[in-house]
Amino acid sequence: MNTVPSLSARYSDPRAYPRGVAFLDGQYVPISEAKISVLDNGFLHSDATYDVVHVWDGAFFRLEDHLTRFFESVEKLHMSIPYDRAQVTEILCNCVALSGLRRAYVEFICTRGVSASGSRDPRDCDNRFIAFAIPFGSVANPVQMTRGLHVAISDVVRIPPQSLDPTVKNYHWLDLITALYGAYDQGAETVILIDQNGNVAEGPGFNIFAVCQGQVFTPAHGVLLGITRQTIFDLCEGLKMDCVAQDISATVLCQADEVFVTSTAGGVMPVSKINGRMIGAGGVGPVTEQIKAAYWDLHVIDQHRLTVEYPDPSAG
Ligand code: PLP
């Protein structure tokens, strides 16, 4: 057991952080120095919204779509930030440029902030804008990308849309985390939550897709409208594949020919086992493989790219 520090003990952070740069309170700081007040309602009450975009080989992917979703969420939560789209773009570019990261996970956040008077009225709070760039991370690790994720379907019901609008990207993750621990107990690596009607909803940080007889399905309601999910609709159109948003029961998902999950953190990620049983022939199915390849191919297309200007390392 640790001893209790004496009155003279002063704060110094002993933790190790990944490489990265953050923007908060109008300044760029190393990620290890990016701290918010313990009184921020974003921390105390999960009263915040955020978005995550990735940078791949020196360029943002679909940043405009992430900005649209973020600004809509900020408005839906009656928050405001002192920057417009162009300024947020500049701040995100600066974080990435300063970090030097060519492949980055870039998060931008609006928290309710702190009320100077201590009032409990959220309208009295000064909203806070934060952004950061850290190394790109994936829901699935390289082994899982090759052999497919092992997933459990939880009986934990995802927070219903009547309680919280799932299209507002949010930090209400305790249903996801509770379900994740249940999945670990069953030997699975991640988890899928259901909705109030027993249909599949989403998982910790990803949307879900089933491939049945060449058609692609994903839940229509009660989920975050993922930007990667939208990319799958776009890609399927180009590949002349039907992609349909509709209810998917747990049974249909388990009997699908292929299952994959999607996220900005990892792209298109195959699922090879659900509740200990193999999906299709196991491994990565051909449709998943084709969509995954098309997803990464799209990253070189100008329409979706915003190239980051990195400082010249040779310049003083
Ligand atoms: N669903 C949830 C709950 C998420 O948190 C995320 C991403 O973090 C997704 C779905 C996937 O969204 P996107 O493709 O925009 O990353």
* Alpha-carbon gap, residue 47 to 241, rounded angstroms: 39
Cβ–ligand 1 contact at 218 (below 6 Å): no
* Alpha-carbon gap, residue 28 to 34, rounded angstroms: 9
Taking residue 250's Cβ as centre, other Cβ atoms within 10 Å add up to: 17
User: At 210, which amino acid appears?
Assistant: A
CA of residue 11 relative to chain centroid, distance: 31
The answer to whether 10 touches 119, Cβ cutoff 8 Å, is no
Cβ–ligand 1 contact at 263 (below 6 Å): yes
Average pLDDT over residues 120-140: 97
Average pLDDT over residues 88-112: 98
Q: Using the mean position of ligand 1's atoms as its centre, give its distance from the Cα of residue 312 in Å.
A: 34
pLDDT band of residue 11 (cuts 50, 70, 90) is confident
Residue 313 confidence (pLDDT): 77
The answer, yes or no, to whether residue 14 has pLDDT greater than 90, is no
Residue 185 confidence (pLDDT): 98
Instruction: Give pairs for 82-91: CB < 8 Å, separation 24+.
Output: 82/129, 83/129, 88/129, 88/131, 89/63, 89/306, 91/23, 91/131
Q: Using the mean position of ligand 1's atoms as its centre, give its distance from the Cα of residue 204 in Å.
A: 8
Q: Which is the closest atom of ligand 1 to the Cα of 169?
A: 5
The answer, yes or no, to whether residue 246 has pLDDT greater than 70, is yes
The answer, yes or no, to whether residue 315 has pLDDT greater than 80, is no
Mutate to test the pocket of ligand 1, among 54, 109, 169 (most ligand atoms within 8 A of CB): 169
Residue 316 confidence (pLDDT): 58
For 134-191, write each residue's pLDDT tens digit: 999 999 999 999 999 999 999 999 999 999 999 999 999 999 999 999 999 999 999 9
Stretch (H or E) spanning 97:
helix 85-99
For 193-243, write each residue's pLDDT tens digit: 999 999 999 999 999 999 999 999 999 999 999 999 999 999 999 999 999
For 18-49, write each residue's pLDDT tens digit: 999 999 999 999 999 999 999 999 999 999 99
Residue 3 confidence (pLDDT): 93
Cβ–ligand 1 contact at 224 (below 6 Å): yes
Cβ–ligand 1 contact at 305 (below 6 Å): no
Residue 312 confidence (pLDDT): 83
For 58-93, write each residue's pLDDT tens digit: 999 999 999 999 999 999 999 999 999 999 999 999
Q: Which residue, judged by its Cα, is nearest atom 13 of ligand 1?
A: 226
Q: Using the mean position of ligand 1's atoms as its centre, give its distance from the Cα of residue 9 in Å.
A: 41
Q: Which residue, judged by its Cα, is nearest atom 10 of ligand 1?
A: 206
The three-state (H, E, C) secondary structure of 8-69, written as one string: CCCCCCCCCCCCCEEEECCEEEEHHHCCCCCCCHHHHHCCEEEEEEEEECCEEECHHHHHHH
